[in-house]
Amino acid sequence: MKRSSFNVLFFLKKTKLLKNGETSVCMRITVDGTRVENNIRKSIDPSLWSQAKESARGKSRKSCDLNAYIENARIKLHQIFCELEEQNQPITARLLQEFFFGQDKEPEAVRTLIGTMQEHNDQCRALVGKDYALITVRRYESCKRYLAELIRQKYEKDDLPLAEVNGELVRAFEFYLKTEKECQQNTVIRYMKCLKKITNLALANEWIAKDPFIGIKFHEKEVIREFLTMDELLTIYHKEFPLERITVVRDVFIFAAFTGLAFIDVQQLSPEHIVKDNNGNLWIRKPRQKTKNMCNIPLLDIPLEILRKYADYPASKKKGVLLPVPCNQKMNSYLKEIANLCQIKKNLTTHRARHSYATSVCLANGVSIENVTKMLGHSNIKMTQHYARVLDSSILKDMNNVRSVLSSNLSR
């Protein structure tokens, strides 16, 4: 860690005289060019002050008391500075000021940015599967790692006190993510939200006094989400593959595309999530792993056929689930092979199935967006609208109605 520069200066505040004609004595602490000033609640006749020696002239009791205070203050501040250096603690002028005037504070009580993020991330990881998804925790951990890299690069330190987290650091982090990490705008915003959660936590606990995000706004770019048409889904469904691993991935993908379940929910789907209603219809009733919102999805013939196909599959029976779902990384890798074999010029991913269900399976066939919202387990319709796309077929259908009206009017 780079050694910090440290200086203490005592001076008179001559701009405002006290009623007795004396002037307040102030102390200025400077660390690495940043300074803080304090009135030490002592005063002296300006004619008795030597700025060159930073002390009072004469042998009067008041002069001796002031000079003794100044000498003791220098010694105490130097001791605090050395203790922080020995413990490899980040040192700031404000931190020295707080330790000097707060007798009950110890250096170990310093709240730092990376340290606070680590505590937060440890708590989140302990709640994986309860309050947090693993992917969310990994994002927080990546955010902490990138912030630590930036602090080492920009400040040549391992950490920063929360009191020193300001708008400059926030903007520097945004720039770092875009340039050094080459993150796209929406990815940058996700990391900035992680940092903002930590600063909000610090504000709520009064670890910092000012919100470093004041005046800083981020705007997400609209992402055009690809989906498969019904013809493309059926092409994949009917395609014969020579390898079992490819066939399994195809079946899992198609199951998700005709149920709208997210990858993790397909992976966790168990017999208890299949429910029969009074009319004999089978439904998937499962709380989403991500939000805990309940999904209510009637099972269509294609996903029912896939469930029957794997009813006695050893790998899924051993885990107590309905489908032998590989890890997400393998799924996405094999889906690229499937796209090539089916001559589909789209980037197939596990989440593309959910987009396709919302658009091609439901909305294109007249299912209301309100019902799609319930089946996807969304909290509100606005979330579903990110998946919904106006299809050429629906535009053509509406414009054909317009054509009919115009034709009838022209024939009169």
Determine the pLDDT at residue 368.
85
Q: Are 66 and 56 in contact (CB under 8 A)?
A: yes
Q: Is the pTM of this model over 0.85?
A: no
Determine the pLDDT at residue 397.
66
Determine the pLDDT at residue 128.
84
Q: For the chain, 412 residues long, give each residue's pLDDT as a single digit of tens.
A: 566 788 999 999 877 778 888 898 999 999 888 888 888 888 899 999 999 999 999 989 889 999 999 999 999 999 988 888 888 777 888 888 888 877 434 444 568 899 999 999 999 999 887 778 788 899 999 999 999 999 999 888 888 888 889 999 999 999 999 999 999 998 999 999 999 999 999 999 888 888 999 988 888 776 667 889 999 999 999 999 989 999 999 999 999 999 999 999 999 999 999 999 998 899 999 988 777 788 889 999 999 999 999 998 988 888 899 999 999 889 999 999 999 999 999 989 998 998 899 888 988 888 888 888 888 888 777 777 766 655 555 666 667 777 777 777 666 6
- Provide the CB-side half-sphere exposure for 143 (13 A, CA): 27
User: Three-state DSSP class for 227?
Assistant: coil
Q: Are 176 and 155 in contact (CB under 8 A)?
A: no
Determine the pLDDT at residue 105.
44
Domains of the chain, first to last:
6-109 (no CATH), 113-204 (1.10.150), 230-395 (1.10.443.10)
Distance from C-alpha of 368 to C-alpha of 198, rounded to nearest angstrom: 39
- Provide the CB-side half-sphere exposure for 161 (13 A, CA): 20
Distance from C-alpha of 381 to C-alpha of 375, rounded to nearest angstrom: 11
Q: How far is CA 244 from CA 237, 315, 327, in A?
A: 14, 13, 16
Q: Which of 162, 136, 133, 131 is nearest to 147 (CA)?
A: 162
DSSP 230-282: HHHHHHHHH---SSHHHHHHHHHHHHHHTT---HHHHHH--GGGEEE-TTS-E
Determine the pLDDT at residue 168.
92
User: Rounded to 5 degrees, what angle do the CA atoms 240, 260, 285 make?
Assistant: 115
Distance from C-alpha of 176 to C-alpha of 170, rounded to nearest angstrom: 10
User: Three-state DSSP class for 384?
Assistant: helix
Distance from C-alpha of 75 to C-alpha of 80, rounded to nearest angstrom: 9
